[in-house]
Amino acid sequence: MANTTQNNIIKTSGKLMVLVVAMFAFAMWVMPPLYDALCEVLGINGKTGGRYEVVESNIDTERTVKVQFVAQNNEQMPWEFGPNISQVVVHPGEATTVTFHAKNTQDKFMVSQSIPSIVPSRAAEYFHKTECFCFNQQPLEAGEKADMPLRFIVDRDLPKDVHVITLSYTIFDVTEMAAEQNSVAASQ
Amino acid sequence: MGAHGPAKGFTRWLTTTNHKDIGSMYLWFSFAMFLLGGSFAMVIRAELFQPGLQIVEPEFFNQMTTMHGLVMVFGAIMPAFVGLANWMIPMMIGAPDMALPRMNNWSFWILPPTFLMLASTLFMEGGGPNFGWTFYAPLSTTYAPPSVTFFIFAVHAMGISSIMGSINIIATVVNMRAPGMTYMKMPMFVWTWLITAFLLVAVMPVLAGAVTMMLMDIHFGTSFFNAAGGGDPVLFQHVFWFFGHPEVYIIILPAFGVVSEIIPTFSRKPLFGYASMVYATASIAFLSFIVWVHHMYTVGLPIAGELFFMYATMLIAVPTAAKVFNWITTMFKGSITLETPMLFAIAKVFLFTIGGFSGLMLAMAPADFQYHDSYFVVAHFHYTMVAGAIFALSAAVYYWLPKWTGRMYNETMGKTHFWISFIGFNLTFFPQHFVGLAGMPRRIPDYNLMFADFNMISSIGAFIYGSSQLLFLFNVVRTITHGKPVSDAKVWDGATTLEWTVPSPAPYHTFSTPPEVK
């Protein structure tokens, strides 16, 4: 009698331990990718997708959409950074190229990473980038300047009531992070 | 087996596997943490006594709000309920001890070094945690003081302790009930703890995951929460509140269990709607998993998300109201006497309901944009945590103290403690509703002159409430040393559960032979 109780206790505890491990794994390895996937599928984080493969499409000359560009520096990022043109009016389906300028104002080598965000967020999935400086880190020597290109197409399926899309870039200082990654890559 | 008593000397406490010893240690430890967290609160209220900076630096003020929250949630309330569970669950279900007694010892002894480590961060370079008890990234990663690593390990350790405690409770309740005690005959306190333990097992690992990701971001170059590396700080809030919302029910459900024992005893009527109480508790637990985003209405959610989480949150009011109505109906036409435990229990129901109403206000997404991060939120969660959980804990201690010690506490002193607590608590937190609605933000060391009077009232109330706890401590110690011995097994004439069938004080070993439950 006492032995069966003991066995049952061990069985119950074993099952609960499985639940503990499963929930930890869920938090560490399921929630982050699931969050990114949901944001992308539902287009809810203002996050834009990766590089867009151009599909042949007609230009909708009947309709115009205003695309505005905003740039900001993350807290202590000292670079000069901004769009060369603050807004463009485009037709859906039409490929457009604009540039952003950046200047490393410091007297040391630095690496930056720009992170995009779109308002309204439901327009994010209709804003395609075929080329963007945000796909890669941007290194600049001390005092160096660069014009960084962005080539985009607004999808013809963009909801009819969206007339203005605001694209915001935040530039981050990732010099240390890039150095760490390089040293990890070098040691492998 | 029932013959030998406790071992002698101090090592008894280090090596004990007895559920009553461990329960007592949990209760004393949590009371010590309650005083520590309370002293942090006194620093906060002293600084806020007048506008302007008087006593502490803003950096230290932030550490005080953070440590107050962490110590009260993880050091005071949770271990106190685990202590009650250890003491009462085996006696309420007719079991000789907890199912896993050695693990029980370990899960307690993890806690004192953990909280010593957490408290020691206050003396480290850069100070202790200063990012709020919710430790949102990047405040807790990119901008955290170096001591954050100790904080992370402390959270891991207290999580392990909670998980072990919960597994123990579930294993005990599932496997060691006396013959004849079916699930639907279990006392309500046992039911609420069983459900709480499942919540703990499910969400403490998620908290461990959140701090592990922080650790990786800080020391190993990952970017879970770092936007520059492709991560997202909002993800942190989702992971945290996926743990954090069930956590608030982990704190309140055992308190519901306590008042569900005390109100029938002092109304001399069985609990009204026992089955509906069980189902309501289970529904609250289930709903707690699908409402976490109501803590994040202002991060920029799609309208469908705001609506879903708003309706789901409001749905929780239904089972909770069922419980409140059941307690009231239990008292209806009962032969009520108002001893100290009953006073605390009635006050808990009344004040928790106020906290529930302000919770409903906060649940409304469009209204929340005004209330968010204001003192209204502070008032809301102190009505649920202090009046909801701490009042229930005070009630529980007065209720079971005669059974634990075999001595009666001083009723006059108990009632004095109650009335001072009740007045002090309301004086502290009721005005905070109004300063919050008028726009005073939480977690600030200085404020606009227009909030000065109400903040002074709040601070005076806090000093009153804080000092009333010393009277509580004195009453408990005095009971142990000088209390009038009680002779009856059944100290309260209206009590019906199994712990009132064993002698007072409860012998070191009880129910070595299981009782028969009809």
Residue B506 domain flag? no
Domain ranges across chain A = 1-42, 65-181
What's the whole-number average pLDDT of chain A? 86
Give the least confident one: A29-38, B206-215, B328-337. Answer: A29-38
From chain B, which residues contact A within 8 Å (Cβ)? 99-100, 163, 166-167, 170-171, 174-176, 201-206, 208-210, 212-213, 221, 223-224, 227-232, 234-235, 238-239, 242-243, 300-302, 305
Task: Reply yes or no on whether the pLDDT at B302 is more than 90.
Answer: no
With H, G, I as helix, E, B as strand and everything else as coil, classify residue B49: coil
Tell me which residues of chain A, numbers 22 to 81, contact chain B at a CB-CB cutoff of 8 Å: 23-24, 26-28, 31-32, 35-36, 39, 42, 44-46, 74
Q: How confident is the model at residue A49 (pLDDT cuts 50, 70, 90)?
A: low
- In 3D, which of B300, B293, B429, B276 has the Cα closest to residue B363? B293
Residue B423 domain flag? yes
| Cβ distance of A35 and B305 shorter than 8 Å | no
How does pLDDT run across B389-409, given as a tens digit for each residue? 999 999 999 999 999 999 999
> Which residue, chain included where needed, has tokens 């480590």?
B117
User: Whole-model pTM?
Assistant: 0.91
Residue B15 domain flag? no
User: For A81, phi and psi rounded to 5 degrees?
Assistant: -155, 130
Over residues B256-280, mean pLDDT: 97
Distance CA(B48)–CA(B137), nearest Å, equals 27
Q: Are B51 and B451 in contact (CB under 8 A)?
A: yes
Segments forming the whole domain that contains residue B29: 23-501
Paired tokens of B80 = 């106190």
Residue B141 domain flag? yes
Give the per-residue pLDDT at A185: 57
Task: Reply yes or no on whether the pLDDT at B2 is more than 50.
Answer: no
How does pLDDT run across A110-149, given as a tens digit for each residue? 999 998 888 887 888 888 888 888 888 889 999 899 999 9
What's the whole-number average pLDDT of chain B? 95
| Nearest Cα residue in chain B from A135 | B230
How does pLDDT run across B343-372, given as a tens digit for each residue? 999 999 999 999 999 999 999 999 999 999
| Cβ distance of B301 and A44 shorter than 8 Å | yes
Strands A65-73 and A164-173 come out as parallel
Of B174, B205, B242, the CB nearest to A12: B174
Q: What is the CATH number of the domain that holds B91?
A: 1.20.210.10
CATH topology of domain A65-181: Ctag/Cox11 (Pfam 04442) (2.60.370)
The residues, ordered by sequence, that sit 6+ positions from B341 with a Cβ below 8 Å of its Cβ are: B262, B265, B266, B395, B396, B398, B399
Residue B2 domain flag? no
Residues of B identified as active-site? 68, 97, 133, 161-162, 245, 247, 249, 260, 294-295, 320, 323, 442
| Nearest Cα residue in chain B from A16 | B167
Contact A137/B at CB under 8 A: no
Buried b (16+ CB within 10 A) or exposed e, B154-175: bbbbbbbbbbbbbbbbbbbbbb
DSSP state of B350: H
